[in-house]
Amino acid sequence: MSDHSITSEAERRRTFAVIAHPDAGKSTLTEALALHAHVIQEAGAVHGKAGRKATVSDWMEMEKDRGISVASSALQFEYSPEGHTGEPYMINLVDTPGHADFSEDTYRVLSAVDAAVMLIDGAKGLEPQTLKLFRVCKARGLPIITVVNKWDRPGRTPLELVDEIVTEIQLQPTPLFWPVGEAGDFRGLARINADGEAEEYIHFIRTSGGSTIAPEEHYTPQEAAAREEETWEAAVEEAELLAADGAIHDQELFLDCTTSPLIFASAMLNFGVHQILDTLCQLAPAPAGRASDPQVLNQSGSSAAVDSFRATDAAFSGVVFKVQAGMDAHHRDRLAFMRVVSGEFDRGMQVTHAQSGRSFSSKYALTVFGRTRSTVEAAFPGDIVGLVNAGALAPGDTIYAGKKVQFPPMPQFAPEHFRTLRAKSLGKYKQFRKALEQLDSEGVVQILRNDLRGDAAPVMAAVGPMQFEVMQARMQVEYNVETVTEPIPYSVARRTDKESAAELGRQRGVEIFTRTDGELIALFGDKWKLAFVEKEHPDLTLEPLVAD
- Known binding residues for GTP are 95-99
Count of CB atoms within 10 A of residue 382's CB? 28
Of the candidates 267, 234, 244, the one whose C-alpha atom is nearest the C-alpha of residue 117 is 267
Specify whether the CB–CB gap between 509 and 532 falls below 8 A: no
Run of H or E including 63: helix 61-66
CB 262, CB 176: distance < 8 Å: yes
CA angle 109, 112, 113 (to 5 degrees): 95
Sequence ranges of the binding site = 95-99
Element of type H or E holding 189: strand 188-192
Helix-, strand-, coil-residue percentages of the chain, each rounded to 5: 30, 30, 40
Q: Which of 475, 511, 482 is nearest to 496 (CA)?
A: 511
* CA neighbor of 345 nearest in space, from 321, 361, 325: 361
State the first-to-last Cα distance of the chain, in angstroms, to the nearest integer.
Answer: 37
φ, ψ dihedrals at 421, nearest 5°: -135, 130
Confirm if 343 and 317 have CB atoms less than 8 A apart: yes
Neighbouring residues of 226: CB distance < 8 A, sequence distance ≥ 6 = none
Q: Map residue 391 onto helix, strand or coil.
A: coil
